[in-house]
Structure 1
């Protein structure tokens, strides 16, 4: 049995020039020369310039001009000026369409180049995180609010340091290239300092000093740092960032918050005390989800924020990457219209208990 597939939007637009010229020709033959349908043949090259290249626009323009001459001779319009006027109309629209097609092709080439550069910048700035580090399985998801750029002001990184696995998730104030530049500064300092600084607070101080030199005015970066060592705890350092979500092995959900919130990175020059580290239990079977406010502030058609805690059950999939993808897909379905803010999520799953339950001969 043959199934007729519906035409896509681009396929319909590609056929529109031919359909327009056919309809005009039929109407001109039926109605006769007195109605004056002939100049409407120029709709063919006009529509062609919207979706086709300049070669296709020129081809349809030549066909339209030939059709105009044929219909003009059939109607006897070349005895006066009407035939020449119709030909001039088609030729003029074809010329304008050619110019428009050339400009559009150049802009599309520039956009493709920008996307290529953005993808290269993303690979350099937001490098792939390690899939596993010891008993930890790690997954990451990043959705930029600027689809053409593929990258924005949210940042993340995972570093296996001599002092444990160190993680950062942050959100740069603002958007565009300035936010990307600031994110690059934060990640560059974090990648170096994570290996050098034995203390998590000293690591945060180093980030603060670097940003204080780089940022101007009241710009800042909210961030949360996590350090997972050999014990059954995770140390957190919060610079004005949303509290991470901890999903226990039994399914209970917790959002551990510091005793007092500190200012974001870049605002430490105001003389306030920096954040104090706090520890949270993190045992085999637990999951730690760090995210930016683009996740929790996404709204549905009723202006309701995304209920992250109620979606914790989506993280129950055996594979961490599939679990995080389920949350990302659910977030996308919850949001209405284009996303207004970047959304980054980084999931750390403690698989120590699972690894212990599996025997050495278990192929899984």
Structure 2
């Protein structure tokens, strides 16, 4: 499967399924932004007419003109196909009548051309209706994705940030990975994680957890209280899905919950729920934050007790890198996992500018896709965040940083899920 940045890669606006957007022309049939979908059927029509005029009377090919509306039906809109059907009948009549009577194809072939044009126009209408339905469903899916992975403003909550989301399913465009930043009176909280499983159930669970995080992350003073709220919400959601008789009643989520406290500029508090611990990436090197441990959300009953909150020193030039298992479990052709920490360490040593969130996210995304040759087996999220640094002019250094949800390298969206363009 080719990965999709499903983007998520989240543009600021998503097109509605309007009449002008119904027919999705292939990009190769556009020149300087203008559609040239009409050109292939027109060239075919002219070629058949000219070839028939220059052949002998024993070998007439004018009836081949029935192919023209069929080609138009695959490339043009309904009215364009109808126009080519009419042109085909008109051209047939003119060319055929130019021959002596004994060599004319006559009425039977004209009926064939007319019937072919009518059927091609009908088929085009069916195709356009299907495209309209698909475009509407894409719009619905993008709305769901925009709800789960909401676009984050640059410098949101005093943090520089960048993120990219690739779905393993190129058509789904949304999955169970999630991330968010929630500023509040007690600091700025960051939440990154991965819901077990795939499908709409995983999306629903991610939305439930994010809704709880956005409220608790704002109101609760202690990070442990936010963690407790998330655990309780996960348990309640599992009970709800079980009561509905659904098969995903044992779903869980791994996650990392971070707090950049308002009263400390060189520390970060972290709670890990069975997730890969964050990497602190700086010019001096790469290190794992000593925050490993903790059970996934939904399994607190296996080890009762308050969540463990660890406070870790974080340098002013260090960026926290968080990835889901789509990165850490990406395999190459030999079955070897992607060593993200080693790759980042080598790259940062060669170019310290890669420690900024946007280029760091691009680095890990490209490294993951390259390592697995585009065969992503799980949804993949790469998220990087650090405190906004103030320049000498007084402007935040992250003011021009890439908004989270926007693809750091536009054009990756394929948007990647089976086979990457890289």
Pairwise same-fold verdict (TM > 0.5) = yes
Contact kept, 8 Å, 2:187 with 2:259, in 1: the verdict is yes
- Gaps of at least 5 residues in structure 1 are 1-6
Matched, 1:240 2:263: no
Residue 305 of structure 1: CA displacement?
Answer: 4.6
* 3-state SS, counterpart of residue 31 of structure 1: coil
Contact kept, 8 Å, 1:140 with 1:344, in 2: the verdict is yes
Contact kept, 8 Å, 1:129 with 1:140, in 2: the verdict is no
Match of 2:69 in 1: 45
Matched, 1:347 2:384: yes
Contact kept, 8 Å, 2:196 with 2:202, in 1: the verdict is yes
Contact kept, 8 Å, 2:319 with 2:357, in 1: the verdict is no
Moved over 6 A (4+): 77-80, 360-364
**CA deviation digits over 1:283-323, x for unaligned, max 9?**
21111011222233445677665442213527725864355
Contact kept, 8 Å, 1:315 with 1:324, in 2: the verdict is no
Q: In 2 relative to 1, CA 268–98 (structure 1 residues): closer, same or farther, beyond 3 Å?
A: farther
Q: In 2 relative to 1, CA 259–26 (structure 1 residues): closer, same or farther, beyond 3 Å?
A: closer
**CA deviation digits over 1:49-81, x for unaligned, max 9?**
00100111011111111222233333457888x
Match of 2:287 in 1: 254
- Choose from 197, 215, 220 the match for 1:197: 220
Q: Which moved more, 1:272-281 or 1:21-30?
A: 272-281
RMSD: 3.3
- Choose from 269, 275, 282 the match for 2:314: 282
**CA deviation digits over 1:92-136, x for unaligned, max 9?**
221221112112222222233233333333443323335336764
Residue 28 of structure 1: CA displacement?
Answer: 2.5
Residue 47 of structure 1: CA displacement?
Answer: 0.4
- CA–CA separation in structure 1 for the residues paired with 2:117 and 2:375: 36
* 3-state SS, counterpart of residue 105 of structure 1: helix
TM-score for both structures, normalised by structure 1: 0.81
Contact kept, 8 Å, 2:38 with 2:80, in 1: the verdict is no
TM-score for both structures, normalised by structure 2: 0.71
Match of 1:316 in 2: 353
Q: Which has the higher contact order (CA 8 A, sep 6+)?
A: 2
Match of 1:4 in 2: none
Which one has a larger percent helix, Structure 1 or Structure 2? 1
Contact kept, 8 Å, 2:157 with 2:188, in 1: the verdict is no
Match of 1:27 in 2: 51
Question: Could you say which structure has the larger radius of gyration?
Answer: 1
- CA–CA separation in structure 2 for the residues paired with 1:361 and 1:88: 77
- CA–CA separation in structure 2 for the residues paired with 1:17 and 1:244: 56
- CA–CA separation in structure 2 for the residues paired with 1:151 and 1:336: 21
Match of 1:155 in 2: 178
* 3-state SS, counterpart of residue 58 of structure 2: coil
* 3-state SS, counterpart of residue 190 of structure 1: helix
Q: In 2 relative to 1, CA 346–245 (structure 1 residues): closer, same or farther, beyond 3 Å?
A: same
